[in-house]
Every structure is written in C-alpha cells, then in structure tokens.
Structure 1
C-alpha cells in the first residue's frame, strides 16, 4: 500500500452562483451557494459536501473496521448535521458535525463491541482527522427483534477521543 494518494477535482462557473464540479471518472455535480448566501434550493453546496465528506468517510471507515472485526450486522445508516456559525473575527466556519449512526446488529451479545467499533470508526476517519471541526458521535445500536439500545457510554467527541 502506498503512503500518498492524490484526488483531483475541477470546478467551472456556469452563471450566477452556479457551477459544475467534476472529477475524473465520476459523474458531474451541479453546485451552488446555499440559499442563505444567495444560492438556490435543490443543488449541492460546499456546506452539504463538507458534511457529506465526514459522514461518508465515517461509514466507509466503519465498514472496513466491522469487516476486519468480523462484526455481523443487518443494516447501517447514518445521518449527519453540520453547524455553520459566524464567529467574531473569523467569519463563518463549520463548528461541529454530529454523526448519528443507526446500526442493526445480528446478535445482542455484540452490542458493546458494536459501540466500540463505531467509536473507533469515528476516531480513525481520515476526513474527521483532517479538519478543525469538532465531530460528535451519537450512535444507536439495536439488534433484530429487540428494542433499541444506546451503547453504555456518553457521547464522545473526536477531540476527546484523540
């Protein structure tokens, strides 16, 4: 495995605050500023892509760790919510991203281990590790046929885990 990888993207302005986002061998995305900044609804924004990068990295990191740990699970989904705030002297910055994964595991005996694997995925996500934004993990683990359980731990932030 190599130690360096490069990822190329390109943007092109298409009018007003619209643009196209391109990358080799990937479908193009129409991008825009969010409505709060005179953009349009229904179009991907840098803010959405930022939160999506954290969320999708968390998912792929979880999948790799779960596979290596031989964790049997039925389903995984996660929603993520980013908070954009205007800070004095700094302008607008994304101050936090809250990850809320929902994991349905195959066996009740794996509940605590599943919680630890989710925490490990958040801690090892390369995107979360590359940004200043605080990430918080609010996992929900349940098992087929049983009630939803929260792992026996408090919500941990990425900065607390590091």
Structure 2
C-alpha cells in the first residue's frame, strides 16, 4: 500500500493598501507563506504581474522545488552508493509560457547542478546517479513538462 503524505501551510495576503482590490493597481501582491514552526516566506507575484521584486514569487519557488527535490534525492543516492559529495550548486532555469488570454504554464525546467565529489570517488557513477535522482524526484514526477538535468562533476584534488 502506498504511503500518503499531507502538507499544510498558510498563505496570507498582506497587500491591502487601504482600499482592498478596488482596482487592479490599488493593491500590493505581497503575501506570506507560513508553515507551523518555520520562518515565513515573504512572497509576491512576478514583477511582470505588478509584484514586488524584493520578494520571492510562486514561479521562482516552483523552480526551486524542482531543483531542491532533485538535489535531495541525488545526495541520498550518493550517500547510499558511497560517493562523497562535498559541494552542490544548481543554477536551475524554468521557462513559463504566457498565452494571449493571460493564462500560462511552465513548459520546461533545466537543472544545471555543479557537483564536487571527494578524491578517489567514481565520477562516472556520480554523473549517472542524476538519472536515478530524476526518476525518484517527487516534484519532477508531478509535472507535465520536461525536466532536464545537465550536471557537471568535479573531483576534488584534496
């Protein structure tokens, strides 16, 4: 039987500038994302949609979720395969297509993880484990567009 996990959080709009949503440009898109016992995430909409550029937007957080899920699976797989990872940075890029009517969707995400592994580790195995991480990633398995991974592996000289 499959396990089920439930995630509960609160999203609270904080952008009433005094007249609510009386007009499209009369309110801020600022909001807080909260989960019990964790720091709140200050969020807004993308600046292209009148959002606050100093805050994270849902699209950025979505791409971060894909990247983070892949990374966490990758680190797990490296640990169980005796690959010692000493550094991991991903420069993930997500592309969203906006239609003429204002609707839209993500059409792809490409991950660019730069991984450093310890001297004496198997760089080929380390590279292949990205394929397994992709196969296991909960977020990548939940989207209807391609998620690509273009990793680079560096072996530490220390």
Report the TM-score, using the length of structure 1 for normalisation.
0.82
Q: CA deviation at 1:86?
A: 2.0
Corresponding position of 1:71: 83
Q: CA deviation at 1:72?
A: 1.8
- Separation (CA, whole Å) in 1 of partners of 2:105 and 2:97: 6
Q: Does 1:135 align with 2:150?
A: no
Q: 2:69 aligns with which of 40, 43, 57?
A: 57
Extract structure 1 runs of 4+ deviating beyond 6 A.
none
The equivalences for 1:27-106 within 5 A come to: 27-87=39-99, 91-106=103-118
Structure 2 residues without counterparts, runs of 5 or longer: 16-27
Report the TM-score, using the length of structure 2 for normalisation.
0.84
Larger Rg: 2
Hey, which of these two has a bigger chunk of helix by percent? 1
Q: CA deviation at 1:88?
A: 6.4
Q: CA deviation at 1:92?
A: 1.3
Bigger drift between 22-31 and 44-53 goes to 22-31
- Separation (CA, whole Å) in 2 of partners of 1:136 and 1:88: 27
Aligned residues: 146
CA RMSD of aligned residues (A): 2.1
